[in-house]
Amino acid sequence: MSRLDDLAAGLATVRGRISGACREVGRDPDSVSLVVVTKFFPASDVRLLAELGVTDVGENRHQEAETKARDCADLGLRWHFIGGLQSNKAAAVAAYADVVESVDRPKVVTGLERGAAARDQVIDVLVQVSLDPPGAEHRAGVDPEQLDALARTVSGASHLNLAGLMAVAPLGEDPDRAFARLAEVRQRFLASHPAAVTLSAGMSGDLQAAIAHGATHVRVGSAILGPRPEIL
């Protein structure tokens, strides 16, 4: 099987899982967008994915993302930055990213605004919410109690569009429970930010649970591209 066949098969399986999950909870399959996470995989795979109809790709490391976005600039893809953001790299990320999904503190907002302004474009921002139970060691994301303040900071930036929320289910917890908490956080959030309807949640292993709890975007890597190389 060629790489194109592999990717086509992975995409078909994942699209089938997405529509199955939608059907189960009475949602329109078109209400869930697929972001294919291409981190660790070469630009040649991004090209094949574009050929197969993929419109949105996700990357989590700045340098790799910047290079790939440049190599694939002719494809017209939407680039989602989904990784940990260093404040000194935020402006550089905003130079190529169309959506920054991992905003979790005010300090990165300044850099993103500067980068988006330099490019003279408005970019979409999702605030990453921590779903770790209180007291747990935090991986990434803002505490739900600080979400509103951070969302207001994003809204105040003229080149950033507050589009919604992003979350990752904590390791070792039933994703269904974690995403149920996310749905509650989102409901409160939407009361103050009614236009910020995007909810990016769910990956290869837990996309069904995320869709059941309202995800509008799922970020899927290994179920489409195969296992990532261990070291890179």
Ligand X SMILES: *Cc1c(COP(=O)(O)O)cnc(C)c1O
Write out the residues near ligand X by the rule CB under 6 A: 37, 39, 60, 82, 168, 203-205, 219-223
Q: Supply 178's token pair.
A: 């974690």
String of DSSP letters for 120-154? T--EEEEEEBP-SPTTSPP-SSB-GGGHHHHHHHH
Please state the closest distance from residue 58 (CB atom) to ligand X, in A: 7
Pick between residue 39 and residue 159 the one whose CB is nearest to ligand X.
39
- Tokens representing 133 are 């139970």
Confirm if 92 and 68 have CB atoms less than 8 A apart: no
- In this complex, which beta carbon is closest to ligand X, that of residue 214 or of residue 221? 221
Three-state DSSP state, 219: strand
> Closest approach of Cβ 38 to ligand X, in Å?
10
Tokens of 23: 């059907």
- Which residues are 219's β-sheet partners? 35
Backbone angles phi, psi at 80, to 5 degrees: -105, 125
Residue 100 CB, nearest approach to ligand X (Å) = 12
CB atoms within 10 A of CB 47: 16
CB of 123 to ligand X, least distance (A): 18
In this complex, which beta carbon is closest to ligand X, that of residue 82 or of residue 185? 82
Nearer to ligand X, 65 or 203 (CB): 203
Ranked by CB distance to ligand X, the top (closest) residue is 221
CB of 1 to ligand X, least distance (A): 20
CB of 104 to ligand X, least distance (A): 12
Q: Label residue 15 exposed, middle or buried (CB < 10 Å: 0-12, 13-18, 19+).
A: middle
Q: Which is nearer to ligand X, 54 or 82 (CB)?
A: 82
Nearer to ligand X, 21 or 37 (CB): 37
Q: Which residue has the tokens 């869930």?
A: 32
* DSSP run (H or E) holding 57: strand 56-59
Q: Which is nearer to ligand X, 168 or 212 (CB)?
A: 168
**C-beta of 203: minimal distance to ligand X in Å?**
4
Runs of H (alpha helix) within 39-194? 43-51, 62-71, 90-93, 106-119, 147-155, 175-192
